[in-house]
Structure 1
């Protein structure tokens, strides 16, 4: 499977705590030295706790944030070395489905206009073909043609997220960043949206970066999974390998938190103690060591590197040095 995008040592630091003279006194390291690849036609799942940098990473990829350092190589082109107008030409190839299906839609525009807008701006079709394309996209996401003249507030949360999906599909992207697209929806609707995304992936040959809080959601749609903690990737593996043989203690804790449907089966829950360290002043060694149940002296001193332990299975942990 060929590589669509390669992320190399990507970081995003935000200036915080300005002093009296307006100068920044510290940096918040939202994403810190992250590297991974996304293959054409796959769904790469990215999981982790709130505040670990998942959404920031997704926004960097779709050009909503500029990286502090690092490279993003998309189809052989390093986007970080292109000028703004050159990088903008790639924006239609990388779209985003946002977490909040209401805040991400313009309340003053009809659904038809929302979906048509990126087609018109990018001049993808003649004016007389745009309406036909909008109708087709509405049908693809399970909405009716007559709903094109309604406004976002007239739809349910699940329907609004379908509109967001249709808008992302409008410019025929090669990569879609799905930023927790089902977390704001009812559980019964989550399955419908996940199944829709899986069907669209096969129908249009899409590639996903699927961001979620828990491993139970990404299990149903991802081919490979990356686990993120406090701005860094701690484990990457094919889906089946990760669920069958999690190596990093943080991944093991996340998997232990997944509820079991069968009440007769018992599962040992790994409880993580302590608070997540501040991304402004992260630990010098392993960022997880203050909460890790397998902590060793070296963990406080040296940050572990992401290493390939078995084919396709990468982990950043001193247990495997």
Structure 2
């Protein structure tokens, strides 16, 4: 593995959803609760889990859209949490975000040429007379024509709009890009094109990706390592091939059993009972215990921590910890 470009240490994000009467008995939603992981330079780290598990919240904290409630974010060894806006600005261009909804993320009153040029001008990366040439290059690189630069976002298809979003992220020459479900709103045929484009750009520009997604097959296609989240917690991290062929955590096993398989290979579907607990009032111990099909006496109330079960393969489960 290469050097660590991003390290997240015990990261948490809590939202107050109800302050109660006179500030008493307030309710707190624990979107992300004590999550740690590393991303190595040049790799794609996939982050998967059910809706509401906290993966998008992590992405937004990395790009400074949310401030963490606790923990640390280190980028190239420099701690980003707690920096003042003026200090943080120099790192903003190094970590960019590709949004899930390509239409909502683009200003409908700006042409796509102006949308791509804006971050270059704000960060003063090029003289004004060179910006147009840079925009032309970026448009061509993501598969759009220069004559389209004066059109508005509503004049493009969903796949084309996402290409504009990718070009905008590339405009400031970032080192790390957070891809927040960048293909979930696209047709399957277009998904493949965008994923291939992201892979080509990664190799060409030496990019590092945090790839957030629901689709396990999409993550399998593009990721080097994968992290699995459940109810604000990281439950498993491992190399892609090992995690998909030998999932350790019961939740990961259930997720993979539900993923569509290619060919005639049949697999037993694991049906989880019950509903996902509320992040406002999560279980005291293991978050997954109430739905786990492997739980034993002693699991309830036990707080599992990520432990290395095999080289590079971590899981948070009492049954794997040897306790």
Equivalent position SS for 1:259:
coil
Q: Does residue 307 of structure 2 align to residue 307 of structure 1?
A: yes
The aligned counterpart of 2:265 is 265
RMSD: 1.0
Equivalent position SS for 2:73:
strand
Q: Which deviations, in whole Å up to 9, do the C-alpha atoms of 1:201-221 show, x marking residues without a partner?
A: 001000000000132110111
Gaps of 5+ in 1: none
Equivalent position SS for 2:247:
coil
Q: Do 1:214 and 1:254's aligned partners in 2 also have CA atoms closer than 8 Å? A: no
Q: Does residue 157 of structure 2 align to residue 185 of structure 1?
A: no
Equivalent position SS for 1:90:
helix
Whole-angstrom CA distance in 2 between matches of 1:145 and 1:69: 45
In structure 2, relative to structure 1, the CA distance for the partners of 1:305 and 1:120 (3 Å cut) is: same
What is the correspondence of 1:1-321 to structure 2 with a 5 Å cutoff?
1-21=2-22, 25-262=26-263, 264-321=264-321
Whole-angstrom CA distance in 1 between matches of 2:116 and 2:5: 26
Equivalent position SS for 1:227:
strand
Number of residue pairs aligned between Structure 1 and Structure 2: 320
Gaps of 5+ in 2: none
Whole-angstrom CA distance in 2 between matches of 1:15 and 1:121: 34
Q: Do 1:15 and 1:24's aligned partners in 2 also have CA atoms closer than 8 Å? A: no
Whole-angstrom CA distance in 2 between matches of 1:214 and 1:280: 26
TM-score normalised by L of structure 1: 0.98
Whole-angstrom CA distance in 2 between matches of 1:163 and 1:24: 46
Runs of 4+ in structure 1 off by over 3 angstroms are 20-24
TM-score normalised by L of structure 2: 0.97
Whole-angstrom CA distance in 1 between matches of 2:60 and 2:294: 33
